Structure formats: C-alpha cells, structure tokens
Amino acid sequence: MLEEIKKHTEYDVAITKQDHFGDGITKIGDKLVFVKHGLSGDQCRIVITNVKKTFAVAKIEKMFQPSSERVKPICPHYEGCGGCSLMHQAEEKQLSFKENKVRELFSRFAGISDFEIESISHGQLTHYRNKVVFHGLNGELGFYQEKSRDLTPIQQCLLVDEEIDQVYQRMRDYLMTYPDEEVLEVMIRKTSLKELMLAVKGKVNSEHLCSFFQDFPLASLLLNGEVISGKRYITEKIFDFQFRILSEAFFQVNYDMMLNLYQKVINYYRDKHYRKVLDLYSGTGTIGLLLTPYVEEVVGIEVVKDAVLAAKMNQEINQVKNISFIHGKVEDYIDEFEQIDSLVVDPPRSGLDSKTIATILKISPDSMVYISCDPVTLARDLKSLLSNYQLSHVHLVDMFPNTYHIETVVILEKRRDSLFDHYDVLVNRLHPYQAEDYLGIEMVKTKDINGQDVYVEKETYEHYLLFRTKLQELGIQVSISSGYRTLAEQQQIIDEFYSRYPEEKVAQKVAPVGTSEHHTGLALDITVRTQDDYLSNQLDSEKQKEYGEQYQIMETLCADYGFILRYPKDKEEVTGVNYEPWHFRYVGYPLSRKIMSQKLTLEEYLEENYIMEEIK
C-alpha cells in the first residue's frame, strides 16, 4: 500500500514537465504534485506544502541537478514576490513553454491540434512595463504575495520602466519623510511621449505631495482620484493616432509588444474593405480607432463608463467620424446588430459569455479577430465558434516576459461549408427580405457611375466584371448605378421619391422597405452610359429609346454570365414591377440560362420548381 502524502513530508523527485502556470510537475505514487518554480529536468528534494484530494503542492527544498533550462533570477525579491513566475527559466525556453501551453490548451479544450502558430513576438525581458501598481502597509510599499494580501516590500521592480522606478524611489522617500501619512496604493504610468502619471490613494496631505514632487516631471498627479497637479490624463501615441489615458483606464502595459499586436490586427483588415466592424469590449477605443482608415464604419461596445468617455475623447482628438461607442454590457447589445462584416473581441480573462457566442453565430460575420490574455477561456470559446468558423491565423505576443502569461491573437474566418451558396432566394412584396437567408454572404466594395461606394455580393460582382468586359467588346459602356442597399437606405430613397412625386406614384416607382431585391446584394442596376455619363435609366421614356438596342443586347447576353433580367416586358402582373431593362439579378449559371431561355420570371421558375417537388 502506498504511503499517504502528508504536509511537510520531503521527497526526492525528478520534474517531468510544467503546468500552465509555469510550475513543475512530478508524480508521487498515483498523485500529481505541482512544484513551485520547478522545471523539466530538475533533480531535487521537495517538501509538501499543501495536500488536496487529487493533487499536492510542494516547493523545492534542495537542488541536486538543475534543469538545463534553469538560470539564476536577477531579482532579489523573486522568491517572495511571485510576480515573475518564470524568471528562473531561460528566455528561449520561456517562449517554447508558452507556445506549447497554447497548443496543449487548444487541443484539450477546443479539440484542435492541426494548426500553425505563425509567429511568437517577443521583446526585452526587463524594464518593459509602462504601468505598475504598488500597495502600501505600515509605511512600506510593495506587492501582494500570490493569492494573498500579505505584502512583500519591494526596493525595485526590474520589470518596470526605469523612469517609473525613479518615481517609485521618490515615493519611498516621501514615506520616510512623512511617516505619519498612510499610503494605501501607488499607481505610476508612463507613455512613449515621456509623460508620467502618479496616482496615490490613502490619507495623504495634498500640499506635502505636490511640494515633494514639484521638481519631478509629472504630467499628472492625482490623490484619491482628484487632480492636484497637472492634467487628469497622459497622452500616448500609437502609429498616427493619439490616445488620452485616464488613471483607471485599461491600456496595454508593454508598448513595443502592443504595437506588434495591433499591427497584426491592422494587417488583416487592411485590404478587406469591410463595411461594418463591431468592436466588442472596446475599452478606450484603441483598436476600433486604429481600424477606421480601413473599414467604412466601426461600432464599439464597452461596459466601463469612464472607458467609453475616454474613447469618445480619443475619437474627438483624432477627428475620426466613422466610429461610434455604446456604453453597456456586450451581452445586452450584441443581438441588436445585423449585417456585421467582422468582429473584433478583446474580452476580460473570463472570455465570452454564452449569449454573446450564440449571437455571434446567429449574425454570422465573415470573420472574427479574437484577442485573448487567457488561452484557457479562448480555447473554451473556440470550441463553440469553430462550428461555423475555421482558424485562419494564430499569433502569440509575449506581452509579459518572465511571467506565465501570453497574449494570443486568433483570426477566424467563416467555414467554406457555411458560406453563402444559394442564389435563387426570392424577394418581392409577398416574400420580404429575411436576413437569415443570406448568412455567410460576402460583400465587396466598388464604385458606381458617380464614383460613390457601392457594395455587391462577391460572386455577383466577379460575374458582372466578365459581363461588362463582353459588353465593352461590343462597344457598350456600362456602369453600376445601384447595388446593395440597407433597409435604412431604402427608406431614404422612398422619402426622396415622396418629395418628388405624388403619393400615388411612389408605390409604382420604388419598393417598400424590406421588399427590394437590392437588400440582397445580388441585384444590380447596370446602366448604359450616355455621352455625358448621365444615367440612361433616369432619362425620360422618349430618350431612353435611344438606348433600347444596347439594353436588348444586354438582355440577350446576361444569362451567359449568371444573370437574369429580373423585370422583363409583359410580366408586370407576375413581378409587380414595371419593365426595367437595367435591373439584373444574379442567380448563377446554368439556372440563369434555364430562366431566360424559357422566358420565365424568378417567381414563375420557383413556383414551377415547387410544384414539381410536390409531385415527386
């Protein structure tokens, strides 16, 4: 019978691997033992510090043969502080540990193992943090020990920027000068523009504090949340944008790695020409604002009110108009959105809630960029998201060297088997547009005859280009005068028609909201260009006759390119729309040939097809 493991018992063991927090793992009998600061290959004596039902915890008492991965920690506070969980491991081995950690978690929780990690970005090991928070107790400043409120006094933190350390040393001098004052917390921040912020909480004399730091270059000095010197914010620059950072706002603590992470996101969106991107957990608007040069519209949602205020302030100082921010919980607002091209999510460590995941799958954007500081919750969420999406890119960013943390950037793209592939959907006054009929549809942006942006479903647009080339060979110059329209855009057209025509004429000229084929992205008004590039379909009926021959040729050829003339002559009673020689609908080939050769409308074809299915 195996001896029961008890607290304070010593064992000589070999460490075989690391857990996800960087601690070593060994086995005593049939019980796993997690060894603080253990590395694979260590031969050591351990002492049990805690015993649970299924595992035990230990620390190293004596090292017999250290692992080849082991290095000497350079911080004198390493053992007591606990913040730098991997400072005893060589840099290249830290990176290998983090990559293997992500692979193992993805395999265990998401069931995916066949994927490529495209890169793991890393920078300097020390002095990389641009923000630090120290706690105070009995005239001492330091960090709380891991999983406790016990304070470890800190003389110097080697992870923080050197100028931040200078502010910290001055704060330690302050406590020695005024020992009767009680400092509970000290937060110090610095930006790449060399602006420093010091925020102190506690029973502190504001005059003493201001005087003590009057010769120090602080851009912002706050006491218990109130500005006592300088500004309420400091300013950071990211690429061509400036951001004002408030004392309580979240901002990445490693500037160089932050640039690397954001560049990966930007690179993905740069050539996508997306119309609308939703930025969930948008914080102070950093990612959303950085994306505005590359997409038509960004909407951010954030629950922290001060972060939203800061985001709107950042929007204003950067003079960006194509972004808006909503204050509220993501799960309360996300299901209000439709026709989103892509999502960016940078959630808290807890990841996405079940409602948000369900709504993402429902609104079905073409792609999704998921930025995560916890690969465990990321892997859990991926298990659900991969029902409709596939991993396109995986990047790792070592935002926190010397710790077990790793930032992961995952890009998901809609699975090929969930892409839009049915082009015979009917939209008319009896069959209104239903968004669920177009899940997976991909839009591309082009220009209309007036040089304005217009959107068209991807395959429709590709076949339009082939059709246009053929017409050009015949001397017929055409342009798109209208493509995809949102419901709101259709209402604007209706309002415009009411301002120009009598009420009884409007119904004849424009479809009610929700009944226009232009909501699908599959319908195009393809206009023969006049000599002065005026829209020939807007000329009066007499002048339109001059272009009748060109439109007749278009009607004859359109089926070869997957199009049908949607509203032909003498079919008004069937379609409910007057003859429009310029309105073409993509249905795909050979369906287009069948409909056009039999002189059918889409309504007639679908009705005939339905009846045949019923007979079968």
- List Cα–Cα distances, 409 to 174, 278, 361, 397, in angstroms: 42, 17, 19, 8
Please state whether beta strands 276-280 and 297-302 pair in parallel, antiparallel, or not at all (unpaired).
parallel
* 85, 401 contact by CB (below 8 A): no
d(CA 433, CA 102): 43
Q: Which amino acid is at 554?
A: M
d(CA 68, CA 40): 9
Return the number of other C-beta atoms located less than 10 Å from residue 3's C-beta: 9
Residue 607 appears among annotated catalytic residues: no
Q: Which amino acid is at 449?
A: I
Residues linked to residue 78 through DSSP beta bridges, in sequence order = none
Question: Which residues, other chains included, contact 31 with Cβ-Cβ below 8 Å and sequence gap of 6+?
Answer: 5, 54, 55, 56
d(CA 74, CA 68): 17
The alpha carbon dihedral of 104, 105, 107, 108 has a sign of positive
- List Cα–Cα distances, 348 to 276, 278, 377, in angstroms: 23, 17, 10
Token duo for residue 166: 């200078």
d(CA 413, CA 423): 21
Q: In what order do the strands lie in the sheet with 323-327?
A: 119-121, 389-397, 407-414, 367-372, 342-345, 276-280, 297-302, 323-327
SS3 450: coil
Question: Which residues, other chains included, contact 85 with Cβ-Cβ below 8 Å and sequence gap of 6+?
Answer: 21, 22, 23, 37, 402, 403, 404
Token duo for residue 283: 């914080």
| Annotated catalytic residue, options 140, 413, 555, 580 | 580
Active-site residues, by number, are 580
